[in-house]
């Protein structure tokens, strides 16, 4: 646990040094300013989607960028020969980017001032969505060597991830959207700013926990297999 805390501290320092915190702060400030000048009454769905895109961006895009920076600097091979376990490395990334997403998401919701607000559901929505996309980001980035290749695979992840928006904005209706984890993310974000049926909240929580568990396992395996290239993945 001590090693995990040490790694979280260094990862937090590194994302600051890489300029990721500055970019996140600028994006958050832009969102906040928009909400200050716009009356969000009746726009709860838009507010939830905007907060949802934040964790997705932090989780997927920023994690991938950070791991690519590290790949470029070959620091993974050094980390692999320290006492830091691989799962701590992965969890540390998830913790740091989830914290960043939490700060950003809470700032946005405060500036949006929704009439209905469930803070616990918002926190759960951000934590479960951000961590899921960190794990998916690590899996994705394990297949590529540089940012150009990463740009090519981004639509493969973000495309399917955005499909539930069709259902969310009542454009297409199908139970199949419930198979896509971002449907569960959207339900939780929506539940934090508007009244939602309880079965939907339970579905979203259970489904995201299950997805997080398997995405974490997949991230650990991908990191070992394709990034530090060991021959034992469990």
Partner 1 sequence: MIQVANLIFRYPNQEIDTIKGISFKIEKGEIYGFLGPSGAGKSTTQKILIKLLSEYKGQIQVMGHDLKSYNNSYYNKIGVGFELPNHYAKLTGLENLKLFASFYEVKNVDLMELLHKVGLTDAAHQKTQDYSKGMKMRLNFVRALLHDPEILFFDEPTSGLDPVNAKNIKDIILDLKAKGKTIFLTTHNMHDADELCDRVAFITNGQIMAEGSPKALKLKFGKPLLNVEYQNSGFHLAEFELENLGQNLEFRNILESNKIISMHTREASLDEVFIKTTGEQLTLTD
User: Interface with partner 1 by CB under 8 A: which residues?
Assistant: 3, 6-7, 9-10, 14, 17-18, 69-70, 73-75, 77-78, 80-85, 228-232
Plot region of 85 (φ>0 → left; ψ -120 to 50 → alpha; else → beta): beta
Measured from the CB atom, is 84 or 123 closer to partner 1?
A: 84
Of the pair 82, 145, the CB lying nearest partner 1 is at: 82
166 CA to centre of own chain = 20
Q: Which is nearer to partner 1, 3 or 43 (CB)?
A: 3
Q: Which is nearer to partner 1, 158 or 228 (CB)?
A: 228
Task: Assess contact for 21 and 15: CB atoms under 8 A.
Answer: yes
Smallest separation, CB 99 to partner 1 (Å): 19
Report the residue number, 170 or 231, with the smaller CB distance to partner 1. 231
Phi-psi region of 170 (alpha: psi -120 to 50; beta: other; left: phi over 0): left
Share in percent of the chain as helix, strand, coil (round to 5): 80, 0, 20
Using alpha carbons only, give the angle 67, 216, 31 rounded to the nearest 5 degrees. Answer: 65
Locate tokens 């979280």: which residue?
8
Please write down the HEC assignment for all residues of 86-108: HHHHHHHHHHHHHHHHHHHHHHH
Q: How far is the CB of 6 from partner 1 (least distance, A)?
A: 4
């Amino acid at each position: 646990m001590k090693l995990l805390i040490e790694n979280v501290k260094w990862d937090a320092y590194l994302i600051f040094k890489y300029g990721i915190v500055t970019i996140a702060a600028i994006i958050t400030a832009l969102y906040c300013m928009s909400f200050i000048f716009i009356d969000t009454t009746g726009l709860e769905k838009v507010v939830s989607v905007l907060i949802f895109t934040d964790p997705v961006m932090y989780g997927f895009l920023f994690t991938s960028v950070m791991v690519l920076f590290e790949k470029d600097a070959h620091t993974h091979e050094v980390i692999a020969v320290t006492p830091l376990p691989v799962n701590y490395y992965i969890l540390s990334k998830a913790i740091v980017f989830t914290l960043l997403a939490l700060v950003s998401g809470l700032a946005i919701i405060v500036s949006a001032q929704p009439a209905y607000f469930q803070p616990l559901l918002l926190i759960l929505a951000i934590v479960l969505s951000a961590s899921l996309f960190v794990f998916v980001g690590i899996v994705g980035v394990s297949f590529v060597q540089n940012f150009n290749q990463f740009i090519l695979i981004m639509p493969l992840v973000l495309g399917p991830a955005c499909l539930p928006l069709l259902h969310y904005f009542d454009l297409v209706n199908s139970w199949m959207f419930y198979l896509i984890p971002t449907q569960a993310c959207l339900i939780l974000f929506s539940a934090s700013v508007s009244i939602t049926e309880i079965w939907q909240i339970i579905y979203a929580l259970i489904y995201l926990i299950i997805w997080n568990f398997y995405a974490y396992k997949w991230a650990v395996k991908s990191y070992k297999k394709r990034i530090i290239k060991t021959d034992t993945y469990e």
